[in-house]
């Protein structure tokens, strides 16, 4: 992000090539604006004592929002993206979409008050939603079926009115791959993919350091992958796509058919039963791993990423399934990419939201400074 260490005007002159008077004027302006902190004079290096300064990361703040089906994660961070406050709140999904978004904005304002961050110091917000998002317009075109009624929701505009700051909206799994690349398992991998398997299934795709969204914002919607020719009929979307076969709801339904509670404890009891020798549980786990492995292999041969990260509730609760996925992929792909389990898990999307907010906030500061100095 920004330079963390203290620096002098001389170092700025050397780095920028600007004249000493120009640098002096600019630094004085930035100190008066609060963007730089004046640290005073340092020890002499044989001449005049140098004056040190540093970037004031708490000159302003940014926020991240990750809307989930039942829970929404919120966080505040400084201009380096370091968190200063966070919380998890209930997603008011029973309300109309616009009201839901407004309520989440109100929850963020409550968090800001608790953290003693004035509304005027919030300069950018990143927000994620589990659906198809037009990032340029900030509109949730269509949300995952787990949240009803979300279609063409102007999420960015609603949040901006509630919070008084610019808002960048993206699909939650797209934000997750950004989060893992910034703070998690994908650091150092500029071409990678994040596959999330929970009630919904999706992939975030990064190519040469940039998230790939696609012409219709559908890049990474692997939930719609057709898993066999027998499913290509009029009812395909209802029963033959990857999500209806291998999503957490499908896994729970199969486990319930075998005479067990398909919701209590998530997927962990199923995996434990398979390890203990329950044949029906073993079949469900094997079938799930095979389907996810096939989808991962297909994504791998199309993208050839340097790394694939597996996340979502299925892998957070049962990370050992990743080994079965690796085995399937290795059987299909001649030179498979490394496959690892997320290190951020449920917070991957929130970290991605903070990253895009930090980028937007810093860009906004730069624009303001240009206007002030021209």
Q: Decide if pLDDT at 1 tops 50.
A: no
Structure confidence at residue 264 as a pLDDT band (50, 70, 90): low
Same structural domain, 134 and 280:
no
Distance CA 165, CA 274 (A): 50
pLDDT of residue 357: 98
CATH number, domain with residue 301: 3.30.420.40
pLDDT at 307 over 50: yes
Q: Residue 179 — pLDDT band, cuts 50, 70, 90?
A: very high
pLDDT band, residue 47 (cuts 50/70/90): low
pLDDT above 60: residue 3: no
Q: Residue 13: how many CB atoms within 10 A of its CB?
A: 15
- Same domain membership, residue 192 and residue 284: yes
Query: By residue range, what is the domain housing residue 293?
Result: 185-343
pLDDT tens-digit series, residues 113-148: 999 999 999 999 999 998 899 999 999 998 666 667
Whether 329 and 216 share a structural domain: yes
Question: What are the tens digits of pLDDT across the range 185-206?
Answer: 999 999 999 999 998 899 999 9
Domains identified in the chain, total number: 3
Residue 6 has a pLDDT of 86
97-114 vs 155-163: helix crossing angle, rounded to 10: 40
Model confidence band, residue 330 (pLDDT cutoffs 50, 70, 90) = very high
pLDDT exceeds cutoff 70 at 346: yes
Among 41-45, 60-64, 184-188, 346-350, the range scoring the smallest mean pLDDT is: 41-45
Same domain, yes or no: 52 and 73: no
**147-156, 187-196, 298-307, 340-349: segment of lowest average pLDDT:** 147-156
Asked if residue 147 is part of any domain, the answer here is: yes
In a shared domain, residues 66 and 135: yes
Look at residue 4 in the predicted model and tell me its pLDDT.
Answer: 61
Is 238's pLDDT higher than 90?
no
Residue 179 placed within a domain = no
Average the pLDDT over 41-65 and give the result: 83
CATH number, position 26: 1.10.10.10
Which of 1, 23, 33, 28 lies closest to 368 in space, CA to CA?
A: 33
């Amino acid at each position: 992000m920004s330079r963390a260490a203290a620096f002098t005007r001389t170092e700025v002159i050397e780095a920028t090539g600007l004249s000493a008077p120009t640098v002096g004027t600019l630094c004085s302006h930035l100190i008066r604006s609060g963007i730089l902190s004046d640290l005073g004079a340092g020890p002499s290096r044989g001449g005049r004592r140098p004056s040190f300064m540093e970037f004031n990361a708490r000159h302003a703040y940014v926020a991240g929002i990750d809307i989930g089906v039942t829970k929404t994660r919120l966080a505040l961070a400084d201009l380096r993206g370091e968190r200063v406050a966070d919380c998890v709140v209930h997603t008011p999904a029973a309300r109309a979409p616009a009201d839901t978004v407004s309520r989440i904005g109100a929850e963020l304002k409550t968090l800001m008050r608790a953290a003693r961050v004035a509304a005027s110091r919030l300069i950018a917000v990143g927000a994620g939603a589990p659906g198809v998002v037009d990032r340029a317009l900030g509109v949730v075109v269509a949300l995952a079926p787990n949240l009803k009624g979300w279609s063409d929701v102007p999420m960015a505009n609603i949040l901006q009115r509630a919070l008084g700051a610019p808002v960048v909206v993206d699909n939650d799994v797209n934000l997750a791959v950004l989060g893992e690349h910034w703070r998690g398992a994908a650091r150092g991998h500029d071409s990678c993919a994040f596959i999330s398997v929970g009630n919904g299934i999706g992939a975030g795709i990064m190519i040469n350091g940039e998230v790939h969204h696609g012409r219709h914002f559908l890049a990474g919607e692997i939930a719609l992958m057709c898993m066999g020719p027998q499913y290509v009929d009029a009812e395909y979307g209802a029963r033959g796509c990857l999500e209806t076969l291998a999503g957490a709801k499908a896994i729970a339904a199969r486990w319930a058919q075998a005479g067990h509670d398909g919701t209590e404890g998530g997927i962990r009891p199923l995996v434990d039963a398979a390890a203990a020798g329950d044949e029906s549980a073993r079949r469900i786990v094997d079938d799930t791993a095979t389907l996810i492995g096939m989808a991962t292999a297909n994504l791998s041969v199309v993208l050839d990423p340097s790394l694939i990260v597996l996340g979502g509730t299925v892998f957070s609760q049962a990370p050992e399934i990743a080994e079965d996925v690796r085995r399937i992929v290795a059987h299909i792909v001649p030179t498979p990419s490394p496959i690892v389990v997320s290190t951020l898990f449920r917070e991957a999307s929130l970290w991605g939201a903070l990253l895009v907010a930090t980028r937007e906030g810093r860009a906004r500061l730069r624009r303001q400074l240009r206007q002030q100095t021209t």
